Amino acid sequence: MIKVGSIALLLVFLYGCGQPAEDVQEAAGTDVPVEDLVYAVEQGYWLGSLNIGEENHIPFNLEVIGDSVYFINAEERIGSVVQQKEELLYIQMPIFDSEFIFSKTDNGLFGFWHNYAKGDGYKIDFSAVKTELNESNRFKISSELATEMYDGKWETHFSPNTEDAYAAIGLLNQNKQNVTGTFLTETGDYRFLQGNVVGDSLYLSCFDGSHAFLFRAKLSEDTINGMFYSGSHWQEPWMAVRNDVFELRDPFTLTELKEGEELEFTFPDVNGINKSYPDPKYTDKVVIIQILGSWCPNCMDETKFLTDLYDVYNEDGLEIIGLTFEVPEKFEDKVARVEELKAHFNSNYEFLIAGNANKKEAAELIPALNHIMSFPTTIYIDRDGVVRRIHTGFYGPGTGPYYLKYVEGTRRFVEELLKES
């Protein structure tokens, strides 16, 4: 078998742009004709599925190009590479500590998705079948026309009438039987959801390497009632009603600096060298402290944004420190997770290894804050060392206008801080 491996994307670019076959062959390091190159998985679109039991499954779309594979949720595409070792195939998800291990049969692909962030024994049955095109009907529902409209903004409550209840905003976009959208909570969002509606029933799902979500619901009169499944380990009821004016609490009011406290900490960097704040290197600098974990999809959305922000404003006096709280117990394994994060986003700001992936531990290690209710939590400090804002959670690109509002507002605020003398 001629394997393209890590140069798959280059081949796709060359061949897709009409480059001579000789150029593609040279890039592949082979004299085999382009049309005879053999890849690990059949090219084109696939419909993947995670079987979470009780006749529930989490579908997601895949596209295979060369030995590259793209996981598709609405407009999001997450790229990885298929690798073959003897009879088994592997897909290591970028950033997140999870992978697919599977094999090919006459009926498609079969194996397991392993999420090591939840323990070595956490795995879910995986299968995939070939489809003719980018399948919008990922739930394979009836072709009858939808009779209920879920389009709009919904006041949503998860685990209603329990001590674990929490509010959310549902943003749903419906085009005939196809639905996309997300849910915003006070600690973050559920990123890019995609699914279908038929009759009075709604089905939404996503898979991004960390999240494996399924939403099932029915609309009765003006109320949605449903169940939310997170992988095979969690499920809870939810309900929603239309409410165009419903909002969550202001994320800048949820976490505070304790009265009379000063923000200070010392943690090792990825080389094991202790770094502190405050420190002379941050004198007369605008500083953003990001409390995050590489296992957290909302944190990764924020890291991408902060990386761009740092690259634009660092020369003007902006510094960013990422305090990472990681799943692995050993320091060197925590470092490996953070190094992968940095490489994926090409992040050039400072990352420190702060502790374990636990909000209670994070609050104990950063005692100047009244609590830490979310990863990420982000602290904005002016040139005089005064904490000016603390933001809980992050609304990523899947939230549309909420994301744009935060990004634009943060850029303006950082520019204002940098102009202060």
Which pLDDT does position 387 carry in this prediction? 98
Residues of the chain with pLDDT under 50: 1-21, 23-30, 34
CB of 61 closer than 8 Å to CB of 196: no
Q: What is the pTM of this model?
A: 0.89
Interstrand relation of 318-326 and 350-356 (parallel, antiparallel or unpaired): parallel
Distances (CA, A) of 53 to 133, 147, 322: 27, 28, 38
Which pLDDT does position 312 carry in this prediction? 98
User: Within a domain: residue 253?
Assistant: no
Domain count, the chain: 3
AA letter at 303: T
**What is the helix (H) or strand (E) element at residue 405, kind and residue range?**
helix 401-419
d(CA 419, CA 191): 34
Residue 212's contacts (CB-CB under 8 Å, 6 or more residues apart) are: 50, 52, 58, 113, 115, 124, 206, 230, 231
Identify whether residues 126 and 158 lie together within a single domain: no
d(CA 378, CA 362): 13
CA nearest to 94, candidates 279, 320, 343, 351: 343
The per-residue DSSP string of 157-172 comes to: EESTTSTT-EEEEEEE
Identify whether residues 236 and 271 lie together within a single domain: no
User: Within a domain: residue 18?
Assistant: yes
Identify whether residues 415 and 284 lie together within a single domain: yes
Interstrand relation of 98-105 and 274-277 (parallel, antiparallel or unpaired): unpaired
For residue 111, the enclosing domain spans 5-131
Q: Give CA 182 to chain center in angstroms.
A: 12
Identify whether residues 169 and 207 lie together within a single domain: yes
Identify whether residues 212 and 344 lie together within a single domain: no
pLDDT tens digits for range 338-373: 999 999 999 999 999 999 999 999 999 999 999 999
Structure tokens at 96: 């997140």
pLDDT tens digits for range 226-238: 999 999 999 999 9
Q: 51 has which bridge partners?
A: 57, 125
3-state secondary structure of 409: helix
First to last CA, the chain: 64
Q: What CATH number does the domain containing 413 carry?
A: 3.40.30.10
Q: What CATH number does the domain containing 189 carry?
A: 2.40.128.120
